[in-house]
């Protein structure tokens, strides 16, 4: 979601996540705390972007998922 757009508003991100607002907020705050995402203020409002750490995490996560799929674990 974020990686495709680079920047995304919070409301569309909530919709795309298919989570309840309270659950989304919990995860969102956790991702901010871990510095995997960051908030960007623009004239059109607050947006969310992946950090370099977030991009690295996604790369490693994809490697793990590919490994699991390859060995049918």
User: What is residue 6's predicted lDDT score, i.e. its pLDDT?
Assistant: 83
pLDDT on residue 3: 58
Torsion of CA 55, 60, 62, 63, to 10 degrees: 150
User: The tokens 């996560």 sit on which residue?
Assistant: 61
Q: Break the chain into its structural domains and give their ranges.
A: 2-70
pLDDT in tens, 1-53: 565 558 999 999 999 999 999 999 999 999 999 999 999 999 989 999 999 99
pLDDT number for residue 1: 58
- Bridge partners (DSSP) of residue 8 are 48
The CA–CA distances, whole Å, from 68 to 51, 54, 59 equal: 26, 21, 15
Using alpha carbons, select from 43, 17, 12 the residue that is nearest to residue 31: 17
Reported as a single tens digit per residue, the pLDDT across 48-73 is 999 999 999 999 999 999 999 999 99
For the chain, the residue count is 73
Write down the pLDDT at residue 4: 57
**Architecture per CATH, 2-70:** Orthogonal Bundle (1.10)
């Amino acid at each position: 979601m974020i990686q495709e757009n680079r920047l995304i508003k919070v409301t569309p991100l909530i919709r795309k996540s298919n989570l309840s607002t309270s659950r989304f907020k919990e995860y969102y705050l956790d991702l901010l705390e871990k510095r995997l995402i960051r908030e960007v203020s623009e004239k059109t409002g607050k947006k969310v972007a992946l950090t370099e750490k977030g991009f690295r995490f996604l790369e490693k996560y994809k490697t793990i998922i590919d490994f699991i799929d390859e060995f049918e674990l």
